[in-house]
Amino acid sequence: MGEQALNTSMSALKLDNPMRRIRVEKVIVNCSVGKSGAPLERAEKILEMLTGQKPSVRKAKKTIRGFGIHRGEPIAVMVTLRRDKAREFLQKAFAAIGYRVREENFDQYGNLAFGIKEHLDIPGTKYNPELGVIGMDVIIHVSRPGRRVMLRRRARSKIGKNHLVTREESMKFFQEEFGVKIVS
């Protein structure tokens, strides 16, 4: 068996290995309003309408007088989506930004983050004058099966660097899986 044939069979094994497949672990949708009260409640209703899940309220970590934010005051809402809900929301979110993502939006571990200026850009949403318009951040965490070994409580262990998702692998994954175009 020649060296070239051996290399091709090894690369075929890497692609067929289910532990090497990249998957969307979770999608976090964050909407930071900056103040509590009616604006936060409206953002909560909009996020629940978009995702189909009840949002979690986030509080300020420290006081910033210039912005009028006090420590412990609720200022943002967020939702974590997993599995089918995450993929469904991602299709809509990518459509809202025109399936174009900048290269700088990927971190070294292949995670992706981008913003949506107005929730009305998401297909299927209608303007409600009572709720107004909000923007949001979408953070996508990608991983491979087996990452749990690094995070579990009992018998925790390290995973090899070659098992972590790289930036380039993640870009290729989003291009193939969701039809996203990477812009420099």
- Predicted pLDDT at 184: 82
CA 143-136-25 angle, to 5 degrees, is 15
Q: Return d(Cα 11, Cα 136) in angstroms, integer.
A: 40
- Predicted pLDDT at 121: 84
100-125 confidence digits (pLDDT tens):
999 999 999 999 999 999 888 888 88
Which amino acid, one-letter code, is at 123? P
5-28 confidence digits (pLDDT tens):
555 555 555 568 888 899 999 999
80 alpha-carbon distance from chain centroid: 9
- Residues with pLDDT less than 50, the chain: none
* Domains with residue ranges and CATH for the chain: 21-29+78-183 (3.30.1440.10)
Q: Produce one character per residue of 86-120: b if its CB has 16 or more CB atoms within 10 Å, e if not.
A: beebbebbbebbeeebeeebbeeebbbbbebeebe
- Predicted pLDDT at 167: 92
Q: Return d(Cα 47, Cα 116) in angstroms, integer.
A: 13
- Predicted pLDDT at 9: 54
- Beta strands 136-143 and 23-32: pairing type? antiparallel
- Predicted pLDDT at 143: 92
- Predicted pLDDT at 125: 85
- Predicted pLDDT at 56: 92
- Predicted pLDDT at 64: 85
